[in-house]
Structure 1
Amino acid sequence: MAFLPHGAAHGLADSPSTPLVDAVATSPAEIPPPGQDDNGPATGRTDGSAATTVMLCGAYLLDRSRAHPLLDDLPEVIHLPARVGRHPGLRAAVDLLGGELEQPRSGSDAMLPALLDVLLLHILRAWFDEQSADAATGWAAALRDPAVAAGLRAIHSDPGRQWTVAELAARGGLSRAAFARRFAALVGQPPQAYLTWWRMTLATRLLREGDATLAAVARKVGYTSEFAFAHAFKREYGTAPVGFRRSASGRT
């Protein structure tokens, strides 16, 4: 598995010295059976046996204006070798995705996006698991820190709650001051600033993808009034929620 978090231009070959040639995308139904390619018998291996390789490629479209800071900590290339018994969840996600592409069935339109999301989460989880605890910095360290991770889980699971730093600190078993210092050092911003950032990120998603009223969106992301939500949203984005929704939907 190779994952390029920042969309860097790349090529794939068996050796750095092999000249690159354009690849032709092929649907699963068009993949020739083992032992045969488009021109007849396969000529893959030097011993004359058939060699079939299937590459499963995909891309994620991200809103760079609201990219999660976790992505900034990732390297240009994440390489996860396919070792037996390592990262079984990742291997299972790839198998499920490959099977769904090879034999589409009813519900595939809904299944594929869900599996792609699951695959991305397994890739990130596998990479973070492979980071040395002593060498981890940034979000890798934040997710390994029990107190900070507990605070992040609380924010993500219930962003509409009126969290205080003291309540978040209690989730992690630390004093308010100690938690605030550790959270800011590892996450890159204070707990309340991250909470606001996360709420606004969720708000843009709700405004772009749904038709909930502004009052409903405000309640979901933790604002007691539509006016307070609109004020916070405009301070963050420079535009009112109504204008953002119209722009996102292409309406005038």
Structure 2
Amino acid sequence: MATNTSFQLFSSSKDKPSLGLGFLESSEPQLPPPPPSVEVLSSEVSSSVKYTVEPVNLDGLTLLKGRVSTKEVLGLPNSDLVPGIYEGGLKLWEGSLDLVKALRSEIQNGCLSFEGKRVLELGCGHGLPGIFACLESAAEVHFQDFNAEVLRCLTIPNVNANLLEKAKPETVSEVRFFAGDWGEIHQLLPHARESEINLTSSSEHGQASAYDVILMAETIYSISAQRNLYGLIKKVFLYRVIQPLLLIVNS
């Protein structure tokens, strides 16, 4: 007699989690422990780092993108990535622009609405997809990046510049900023804590508290990052029968 088995993105053993894909499971170098997870307040924006801004045109939509020096912010050469130390948040990755264009197209086609939604942007950097969600009347937009310095020196100034320029006072979203590794950041994210509680208490047809939309652009580069991302999504992104949640990934 056949039995149903639940789908698992990652197989695992007691000693070592596995993707089930041997050719991808070469050992990775040991990384330093991640920085502690913290909420960065909007008032903590850096005043000591030079921040310049320029417009970027996205098929008729103009947003502002900031520019800061990696060396000035982190004391590192202008590198895209230093694993375990700097995750590329100061660079404007092309995928984030493509994601904004895709979101805008979905809205114009009537397939997507941010109005009243809770939105989480992971690996936000400049935060352009999250900023777009704010401009489309999302109720809450939470920005996450590995480095608190990225949030203080780039993300917060960029969010402020765009919303000051374009947001309507009556549709201003609640914005918050969180720094830390995907393996630990759920301890700070408000709706991750709520969703873990409601996971056991909500009925099959009930409504659990979680994020409605998760935005990501060019965030994955290692097997360990995939495992942490998958674990985080399970904690913050719950299926609801009343209103299915939307996951948008662009990598």
**TM-score, normalised on structure 1?**
0.21
Which one scores higher on RCO, CA 8 angstroms, separation ≥ 6?
2
Structure number having the greater helix percentage: 1
Higher Cα Rg: structure 1 or 2?
1
**TM-score, normalised on structure 2?**
0.21
